[in-house]
Amino acid sequence: MKNTYLYGKNSVLERLSAKPESIRTVYIQDNFNAPHIVKLIRSKGIPCRQVREKELLKIKRADRLQGIVAEVERFAYTEFNQLIARKDNAHLTLIFLDDINDPHNLGSILRITACMGGFGIVIPRHSSCEINDTVMHVASGGENYTSVSMVSNTLNALTKAKQSGYWIAGTVVDGEESIQKTKLPHPLAIVFGSEGKGIKPAIQKHLDLSITLDMKGAKLSLNVAMAAAIFCYEINKQKEALPT
């Protein structure tokens, strides 16, 4: 089984704070200078080894290690049935990612949803990036706070979500109603497609509504993570107005 590693101060610090039981060993460079992190490692009773830079790079070959690497348990996905059965699902928005293969985009979306709160992410088992070391590094700890389900068939998962009361929205570049002007139904599931091809036609047939972003400036495209940040903000703003 391939080992899973977190690297960088923020990623390791968040894991130490949120899920220390998932950490097997922490490796710190011999000149590592972050006493608050070292103190936290010791307080949690986690094995810690001091190594030279060359040895740290053998453990995890990546840029910007920042002198710290943690070997952790593999990412634990949430069963999709559990996700849609959550008691707070009236205010839980599901984000379906269709063919998102860039780990930096997936990591950014994880970080965004963790900061915003109230979101769950659904990714397909095939033709998609999984939650790997790079994704978790970009997420900077966001993987600890957002539930992620991996499903074998996105269409089946969308059907189950509909049967559980979710409305299905799809994001498009233009030509549809702006999210800023649309009263969104809840609970809501929103589908983001790949930057090159958008949402698959087979999935488009299952959408209840299509929404876009109203951009009054230059006609430039946003990458999927940038767009997700705006959509998530608008969705949460509308959810705040819902009756409790």
Q: Please, how many CA atoms are within 13 Å of residue 105, restricted to the half-sphere of its CB?
A: 20
pTM, entire model: 0.92
- Regarding whether 84 and 68 lie in a shared domain, the answer is no
How many domains is the chain built from?
2
Which of the 8 DSSP states describes residue 170? E
CATH code for position 15: 3.30.1330.30
Please say whether the beta carbons of 116 and 236 come within 8 A: yes
- The tokens describing 177, both together, are 């109603």
Do 142 and 224 lie in a common domain? yes
Does residue 185 share a domain with residue 121?
A: yes
One domain, residues 132 and 186: yes
**Local confidence pLDDT in tens for the 244 residues of the chain:** 478 999 999 999 999 999 999 999 999 999 999 999 999 999 999 999 999 999 999 999 998 899 999 999 999 999 999 999 875 656 799 999 988 899 999 999 999 999 999 999 999 998 789 999 999 999 999 999 999 999 999 999 999 999 999 999 998 866 567 888 889 999 999 999 877 778 888 898 889 999 988 777 776 678 899 999 999 999 999 998 877 6
- Domain of 176? 80-240
Domain boundary among 25, 40, 72: 72
CATH number at residue 180: 3.40.1280.10
What is the tens place of the pLDDT at every residue in 110-137? 999 999 999 999 999 987 899 999 999 9
- Helix (H, G, I), strand (E, B), or coil: what is residue 4? strand
Q: Are residues 152 and 34 in the same domain?
A: no
From 53, 72, 91, the end of a domain falls on: 72
- Residue 87 has what pLDDT? 59
The CA-atom distances, in angstroms, between 29 and each of 10, 13, 14, 38, 142 are 16, 15, 19, 11, 24
